[in-house]
Chain A
Amino acid sequence: MPQSIPEPEFDELYRELILDHYRSPRHNEPLVDADVVAEGYNPLCGDEIELRIDFKNGSVSDLSFGGRGCSISRASGSIMTDLVIGKPVADVRKLSELFNKMMTDPEAEVPEELGDLEALQGVAKFPVRVKCATLAWHTLEDGLKQREEGGHAVRHEE
């Protein structure tokens, strides 16, 4: 565990679960021949992420997350993959909405559906880092939209 960092807020930002997803991101291997490829870019920090999404019967059947980003953006994307795979698109949209809400209100109670994303709640107290957390979700939303519109590659900019 880290030493000499007494601030509670700081520990709230870098929760162990976040560090774990950062060090060993899930679904990190890019999907081959994915239905949709969505790129996300945060011009503020230069971070670039790539989502590859497969769909089946109205659900997100598989999802990979890769690219270059900070611990918050990587953990957010990694937890997202765990949570989203196998869920109907409508439910995924709902999760995204709940997550965005959580990022704008650090005090609000975290709905149960968000599961491990709860670990990211502390990020809301660090305004400069909120975009790191939302990049993956906004990129996913763009990917879903792209699927609806029948296109293939999209690029989201924060």
Chain B
Amino acid sequence: MTIDTMRLREDFPILKREVHGKPLVYLDNAATTQKPQAVIDALVEYYSSYNANIHRGIHALAEEATGKYEATRQKVADFIGAPDASNIVFTRNTTESINLVAQAWGRKSLSAGGEIVLSTMEHHSNLVPWQILAKEKGLTLRFIDIDDDGQLIAADIERCIGEKTKLVAITHMSNVLGTINPVREIADRAHQHGALILLDGAQSVPHLPVDVQELDCDFLAFSAHKMLGPTGVGVLYARNELLEEMNPFMSGGEMIRRVQLEESTWNDVPWKFEAGTPNIGDVCAFSASLDYLTDLGMENVRAHEIELVQEAVRRLANVPGITIYGPESAAGKGGVVAFNLEDVHPHDLGTVLDHHGVAIRAGHHCAQPLMKRLDVVATGRASFYVYNEPTEFDALIEGIEAAARLFRAPVHTGA
């Protein structure tokens, strides 16, 4: 393995804890990831040595905090191959980044009759803001459907993206199926028709090498907490011309240049979109997560997860009564496996696994239309990250087998 998990696990204090008397097996990484000591230390360091408000103070602490905050912006830009730090807006999370685009760009630039193209595998975060905008502006939403392998249907991509399309907003990687979508081809098609493309990178940026210029995307949204970073920090990448022409999102302090009683002018991008005191401490700590992932190398992260997902699928497929959703081939699938066990509701499965120390997600994963598409009310989901190792699947499989024994009608052996 390219990543030495045994060594690396030492960096994550939480992995030493037990749950219900069993070693923690954390397989809920698509929801949020655990944090290495370096990130925890960075947060403590901010509050214990240079806590100050940024951009306005003239004292040493304010300068240090501003320097670190802005250096993190540059680091984010480098991490995703953005041309400049000014392409990076800090938000609270992916959800806020997408809402920012819907409000600041969509409300200004879209008008009745226009179409927004989404897919049936979207997270509610990349669906509901567009529903609201569509109602308000008289836009039409169109949906690229998936096939039985959990892949976007190519003919649907062609059918949906056309002359009326103004925006394609699509997930780079599904948080349920793990499908990695052909977003470069979709971007090309969108651009041919004069439309923009927004990528929901909540799952891709933490797990795959992502380069916004190679992907040729106009907007990219993701969350720090899903990539070893603290909660409360999200990122919106956008092309410079777009940020310039967009309306402000929130307004108040920090985002202004000159304020008069009746009107004001806006600060330069990206600060135009960062109203009020931002989440300075968590942004500074996010810097440490980016360093951590950069040291590991995103190619290695991806290679590690391919191994994990292959092994997980192989082991799960051997359990009688298991259905696995999503692409069969690990090459087109991120480190996520959604599954159901016959006769056992995912919530019950989740509870039994919890008592084996195994944390998975059970539910609709904020993708109710996808659940409907798969004709299930919910699924179990195991999702992996850099610190997971194949030996952890022993506990996963044991827990699943225990659940099967518990909930299936007992077979009388006559004993």
Chain A positions near chain B (C-beta within 8 angstroms): 2-7, 10, 13-14, 19, 22-24, 44-48, 68-72, 126, 129, 132
- A47 proximity list for chain B (CB < 8 A): 377-378
Q: Do A7 and B20 contact each other (CB < 8 Å), given the known contacts A19-B407, A126-B351?
A: yes
Residue of A nearest to B377 (CB): A46
B389-415 near A? 1/0 per residue, CB < 8 Å: 000000000100010011111000000
**A46 contacts B348, C-beta separation under 8 Å:** no
- A45 proximity list for chain B (CB < 8 A): 346-347, 362-364, 377-378
- A24 proximity list for chain B (CB < 8 A): 409
Q: What 20 new A-B contacts, CB under 8 Å, besides A46-B368, A70-B348, A71-B345?
A: A3-B405, A5-B406, A6-B21, A7-B21, A7-B355, A10-B355, A19-B406, A23-B407, A23-B408, A23-B409, A45-B363, A46-B363, A46-B364, A47-B377, A48-B377, A69-B345, A69-B377, A72-B347, A72-B348, A132-B347
Residue of B nearest to A2 (CB): B406
- Closest CB in chain B relative to A44 CB, distance in Å: 7
Q: Which one of A13, A22, A126 has the highest number of Cβ atoms from chain B below 10 Å of its Cβ? A: A22
- Closest CB in chain A relative to B125 CB, distance in Å: 16
The answer, yes or no, to whether B38 is at the interface (CB within 8 Å) is: no
Q: Chain B interface: which size bin?
A: 20 to 34
The 6 closest A-B CB pairs, nearest first, are A70-B345, A46-B377, A70-B347, A46-B364, A2-B406, A23-B409
- Closest CB in chain A relative to B395 CB, distance in Å: 11
**A3 contacts B402, C-beta separation under 8 Å:** yes
Instruction: Tell me, in angstroms, the Cα distance from A19 to B398 when the chains sit together.
Output: 20
Cβ-Cβ contact count across A and B, 8 Å cutoff: 61
User: Which of B363, B377, B405, B409 has a CB less than 8 Å from the CB of A2?
Assistant: B405
**A2 contacts B402, C-beta separation under 8 Å:** yes
- Closest CB in chain B relative to A149 CB, distance in Å: 29
The answer, yes or no, to whether B371 is at the interface (CB within 8 Å) is: yes
Residue of A nearest to B343 (CB): A23
